[in-house]
Structure 1
């Protein structure tokens, strides 16, 4: 059974026994989940790739920080 999870620099460094985690990572912050489930942050890998590739030949009229347009004449 997993009792502890330790992260370092945004990556999982240890998963396992709480006593081992506490002795190996003495300065780690502790968060009690009160029997709740820990899930990883999910990253959406598809990124609408086909839509992005279709817009590559179009004028970029996006405002900063995506584009450079900050005003338009009527």
Structure 2
């Protein structure tokens, strides 16, 4: 998985990971990122799908960055 995020967000996430990895029991950076994704997925499931997992066909996402921030 390759993602593109602003440098300041990436730096902030790394700093949070390094500062809390022991107290949060994060074994790896990948585990930290997985936990963050799971929390966002759960939030969207609660907000948009009555707390249920979304259904459908799991298809590849479009690669690349958006052409603008609009």
The two structures have a TM-score, normalised by structure 1, of 0.21
* Structure with higher RCO (Cα < 8 A, 6+ apart): 2
Flag the structure with larger Rg. 1
The two structures have a TM-score, normalised by structure 2, of 0.22
Instruction: Kindly indicate which of the two structures has a greater share of residues assigned to strand.
Output: 1
